[in-house]
Amino acid sequence: MTIMRVLGIETSCDETGVALYDTEHGLLADALFSQVAMHADYGGVVPELASRDHTRKLLPLVDEVLAEANLTRGDLDGIAYTAGPGLAGALMVGAATAHGLALALERPVLGVHHMEGHLLAPMLEDEPPAFPFVALLVSGGHTQLVEVQGIGRYQLLGESVDDAAGEAFDKAAKMLGLDYPGGPRVAKLAEQGDPKRLRFPRPMTDRPGLDFSFSGLKTHTLTTLRAFEAEGPLDDQARADIARAFEEAVVDTLVIKCRRALDQTGLKRLVVAGGVSANVRLRERLEHECAKRDARAYYPRGRFCTDNGAMIAYVGAQRLLAGERDEPGVFAARPRWPMDTLTPPETN
């Protein structure tokens, strides 16, 4: 059996991730630098600043990961990088670095789909899910339900027609005066909220189908805030109650759609990945729904819910093993890249 040590590079947005994956021994080392503190001053990601920071941090992180694994660049058998979707400038930093290293080392290199990385991140765990399964990919840029029969064998079941769930969390946080990124901060504030005081709509759950929509929920949140402010200054309890109602609405919507997807496909395994998959209330509700259906939910470990190099190294290793390659020196960032255009590795 061919064994490969693959370096994974992730630079799609505001986190620089690097990891080393061995197809025999698993994940050897990983490192991540988050730009959250820098972008928080602007209330969201500034693409130009993100690209510059990836340029500064990427190669030092590569050296850090190799040192942790007690290896050198010459010990690498292949390099994988995020080719898209993401911010064009940030993607180009990772692509150019990966191709430069591959050219210097005379090693194969491959661009990987960012969401395929999230989709397969639970494969890095001690008890990975077996195929087939339903996957909920829920992050700042994507909310999708996918039926997964194997690597590269994906059928899109439903997706957001407007804002992704993570994007909706960020916008709600901004309305409530919370810092970026919004998801964890809204969730923390919601812990103090009264679940019975307000009830927000569960968008697109009153009709058949597996698509999502969160823009109306965002508008409802703003309308509620203005109604409170019309009566006087917004106090801490009101802010917490709004945060709780918002979080409950997003979680309920995601859970209802996951329940429908499991029932529609008849599958008993649910993978939940992406930044919003770290939400505690979401996990509790999905565990409850899966238990009622004799199903099981799978998640990546906490640090692999958000963007990371490990998921890119894993996917890259599977596809490099199958013989997939970029042409030497030929690469392009793909800010928009539909996942249903992916194909299975030949050996899958």
What residues form the annotated binding site for substrate? 137-141, 170, 183, 279
Instruction: Judge whether 321 and 4 are in contact, CB under 8 Å.
Output: yes
At a CB cut-off of 8 Å and minimum separation 6, what does 267 contact? 132, 133, 134, 147, 295
In 3D space, the residue among 202, 168, 164, 169 whose CA is nearest the CA of residue 186 turns out to be: 169
Question: Distances in Å between the alpha carbon of 108 and those of 76, 93, 328?
Answer: 10, 18, 8
Tokens representing 6 are: 């693959």
Tokens representing 76 are: 């690498």
Binding residues: 114, 118, 137-141, 170, 183, 279, 307
CA angle 41, 44, 50 (to 5 degrees): 90
**Residue 263 buriedness (CB in 10 A; 0-12 / 13-18 / 19+):** exposed
Phi, psi of 167 (to 5 degrees): -65, -40
Phi, psi of 308 (to 5 degrees): -160, 160
Work out the number of other CB atoms within 10 angstroms of the CB of residue 123: 17
How far is C-alpha 96 from the chain's CA centre? 23
Binding residues for Fe cation: 114, 118, 307
* Pairing of β 109-113 and β 78-84: parallel
3-state secondary structure of 6: strand
CA angle 214, 134, 301 (to 5 degrees): 85
Tokens representing 278 are: 């770290």
DSSP conformation class of 30: E
Instruction: Judge whether 309 and 9 are in contact, CB under 8 Å.
Output: yes
Bridge-partner residues for 154, per DSSP?
148
Question: Distances in Å between the alpha carbon of 138 and those of 162, 271, 298?
Answer: 13, 11, 14
